[in-house]
Structures are given as C-alpha cells and as structure tokens.
Amino acid sequence: MIEDFKFIKPGEVRVRIAPAPTGLLHIGTARTALFNYLFAKKNQGSFILRIEDTDIERIDPRAEKDIMENLKWLGIEWTEGPDIGGEYGPYRQSQRLEIYAKYLEKLLAEDKAYYCFCSEEELEAEKQYKMSIGEPPRYSGKCAQLSKEEVQKRLAEGQPSIIRFRVPAKKVEFEDLIRGKIEFDASLIGDIVIAKDLATPLYNFAVVIDDFEMKISHVIRGEDHISNTPKQILIQEALGFPRPIYAHLPLILGPDRTKLSKRHGAIAISEYKKRGYLPEALVNFMAFLGWNPGTEREIYSMASLIKEFSLERVQKGGAIFNIKRLDFLNGFYIRQKSIEKLTELCLPYLIEAGLIEPVFKEESKVSELPTAFFGTEIVQKYEIAETKEEISLEFLRKIISIYQERLKKLSEISELTDFFFKDKLDYDKELLRWKEMTDEEIRSSLDKLEKILSRIKTEDWTKENLENILMPEAEKMADRGMLLWPLRAALTGKEASAGPFEIAEILGKEKTIKRIKEARGLIK
C-alpha cells in the first residue's frame, strides 16, 4: 500500500464536505462542514465541496441550491467545488461516472470484485436466517466462485446483477484523531456491494475514488460513518491508494440525549434563517456542538474560531443541542448590530407581516428586489400598510432601537412592534387594570394622563421630558403602577413591551392622546 498521509505540512491539508442533494441543509451537515472549514483554514489548506448525486431516485432538485446558498450564508466558503471548479473536478459524482467505471473494471480484472446474480428475495431470506441463528447477516459468497465463462454467459443473457468487493478476512485498524485506535474484524462484514453496475457506483466505493482523485488528506465526518471506514480502507488497499487521516465527530443529540429531531428545535438552516437567526450566532453555536476551547470564553467570531480550533479538543461523547443556547447567542449578536443594520435586517419581517409597505421609485416591485436591499439607498420610503401614512426610515430605526435588547430572533420584531403600525388597537379592557384597581381608578388614571399630556408642547415631546413630568405624578399615587401601567397598556395593547415613555415619544403626541381616549372608552 502507498504510504499514508502521516506527515502533512500546513498548506497540504485538503478536506471536503460531500452532501447528497436529497434534502435541505440541516444542522448536522452544516456542523460537519464548519469543522472541515475551520480545520482547513487553521492549516492553510483547501476545503472542497463535492456533491454526491448518484442516487437519482432520491435527489431533490432544490437541495443542491439550498446547500450551497446556506453554506455561503453561514460564511463557509469552499476553495473548489461544482460552481467554481478546481484542479481535481468535476465535483458532482454524476459527472464522474467514467472515472468510477475505470476503477471498477480494474477490481474486476484483478478478481478483487465480482458480479453477483443473487436476487433481492434470496439475499433477504439469507439475511433473516443468519440473524435468526445469531450470526452476522453477511453475504454467503454464493457467486464469489463463478467462472468467468459463467459470469459472461449470465451477463449476456441480461440477468440482473450487482458488483461485490471481495472483503479479506483480516483485522482492520486505523487511528482516529478524535477516538484513538479503532479496530474491526473484516471477516464479520462479508463481501460488500460497491456498484449496481459499471455506471452506478455506490457510496463506499465512489467516496474512496473521489477522496483519492481529489487528494483528500483528512476525512472529518460524523461518527455514524465509523462503520463505513473499514470497508473504505479495504477498497483503498485493494487499489493501492494512500489512507487519509480520519476524524469522526460526535453525534448531535437532543437535551434528552436521544437522536436530534424537530421536536428538539432542529430544523433546516434555511428555516433558521427565515426565523431570524443570524449566521454569526449559528456558527458560534455549531462550533460548540462537540468542540470546546478549554476556557470560559463562549463568544467566538469565525476568525477567532479559525485561530483557536483544533481536532484535539473535539469531544468523543454526544454533543447536546440546546435551542435556548442558540437563542441566547442570537440575542447577543443582535445587540452587537448597529441600528442601521438591524433595521435593514428587520424590514423584511415587517413587510411580510403586512405592517409596512416599501414605496418604490418608478416601476420597481418587491419581487424584483433582494431582501438584503430593503432599507438601503434603493428603498428609503415606507408606508404604514393599514393607513398608507408615509413613514421615514428614521422612524423605523427608533422603533427597532427600543426593542434591540428584547429580540432573540429577528422574526419577533413584527409581533413586538405591530401596535406602532395600527390605527386602532384591539384588546380587552382588563389589560388596563393594574393589580386590584377598580374601573373608577382606571378611568381616573387615564383622565389624569390625558390632562397632563395635553399640556405638553409638541416640541417638548421627548422621552426624557415625558418621564420627568409623569414620574413625579406616578410617585404621588399609592402605587406608581396605577398610572404607568394603564399608560403602557393603552399605548401598546400588550402585557409586555418597551417602556411607555420611549413608546409615547415615537408615537407622538397626537397618537398617544388618541390611544388614551380610546382606552378610556373601554371603561364604561
């Protein structure tokens, strides 16, 4: 066997992520891609994207686009791939069939692989019998000794067949960078299927060829692939290929330590994006799904992750997925955004909720403009959708600014701030009641608020001035909540909101007094 990749210098590291385009990009594949990317960057190496699209029946036409778009959104950029090419392409397996056929023919010619004509029914019956007597469900080898003449005769007759690899009865050992020495008894595996025919290779064969042809130095993947590793090593040996260095990442588990699922909050990366998670938060979150820097530090940018990352600090045990942790990180990164940038990020959610509408210049339409352009120089004017009242970008920034500390996800902005964009609020009068206040006390508080606020000049309508005037009045009462709570409820129609003085300043004098009067009308 050719010498393994044991002494790889910085710059010679080549890793890959090889998703099958059968579904949307999920957290597990994205985490694996991130770890490969960090390892490549840390070692001045190359990160390759390879699309494993030979399973025609399961391919989802949307999947490849989704995978590529969302990896880029996360900031995980590849050095070589199907969209940008590279020295070792093509990077889609469906475009590499001639390469696989060449190696299949080589194994067949050297009698290291053979055609198997057993039917699916025969194989299933054999499997069930072996399991019933407590033996591993390996193939019996029925077709392993067919003569070349018999094989050619059956092929000429068009008998259905597959191609099996002759698995030698030997111990297979390899050193895993995360798990240490791992050993398998290949005699328990049986001869494995490596292709349906010369034009249809299967996973364990195609991945070996691709990794060799693309000069992959390290294979970093999930631990669910550990059982595939001895099969791939044996194929490498049969073809005289060097053995890449392996590192198997821990599985991602839910908080209850069961297999990660939607009920734990695990969804496609595109759905996280839609719900208003930031790429920085997801990257920071995913990095800690199995890796730990060994310090108390928890916040890491992509640049700092590249600097600190090492496979030596990847844990062996399952990585626990905690959606609350992701929410915390997302809230942190939201708070780091400038108000200008955060407003731009929130605008699509306000538009989607029907709260505001962009006022476009000339004949532009919403569908013609990428989400990223909302809030930029292309669209500077907006209307409140309900009233068509024109509002400024500065008005929207004021609203976003008072909720920046409360946001965990960008998508929450619509529900938190919808009252700013409504002409009339709809809520139960009980919302106005602070503790044990009577209806008469609520009426009195609202009357007082209207009287005091009516005397304030429009030019003095600021948060600071409103607070300076109303707080002393609230302190005179038995409980200051008796004045401030009805004010907050009347202005927002919500149980929780930003402070009433900030809200009143943004609403303006006219709307604030109008809403107090409407609240007064609820108390008969």
Instruction: State how far Cα 244 lies from the chain centre.
Output: 28
Cβ neighbours of 383 (radius 10 Å): 15
Residue position matching structure tokens 């008998």? 159
CA dihedral 270, 272, 277, 279 (to 10 degrees): -50
Q: Which amino acid is at 163?
A: I
**Is the CB of residue 52 less than 8 Å from the CB of residue 236?**
no
What is the rounded distance in angstroms from the CA atom of residue 29 to the CA atom of residue 383? 41
The question of whether 524 is a catalytic residue gets the answer no
Residues linked to residue 183 through DSSP beta bridges, in sequence order: 173
* Burial degree of 325 (CB within 10 A; 0-12, 13-18, 19+): middle
Q: Which amino acid is at 408?
A: K
User: Percentage helix, strand, coil, to 5, in the chain?
Assistant: 50, 15, 35
Question: Is the bond preceding 90 in cis, omega lying within 30 degrees of 0?
Answer: yes
Q: Exposure string (b/e) for 437-463, b if CB count within 10 Å is 16 or more?
A: beeebbbbbbebbbeebeebeeeebeb
**Nearest C-alpha neighbor of 224 from the set 67, 60, 32:** 32
What is the rounded distance in angstroms from the CA atom of residue 400 to the CA atom of residue 223? 43
**Nearest C-alpha neighbor of 183 from the set 191, 192, 174:** 174
Q: What are phi and psi of 208, to 5 degrees?
A: -65, -45
Which of 6, 9, 181, 262 is labelled catalytic? 262
Helix, strand or coil, per DSSP, at residue 354: coil
Tokens of 365: 């339409």
* Burial degree of 51 (CB within 10 A; 0-12, 13-18, 19+): buried
**Nearest C-alpha neighbor of 103 from the set 194, 5, 217:** 194
Tokens of 325: 């942790």
Q: Indicate the pairing of strand 192-197 with strand 319-320.
A: unpaired
Strand order in the sheet with 180-185: 180-185, 171-176, 245-249, 218-222
Q: Which residues are catalytic?
A: 262
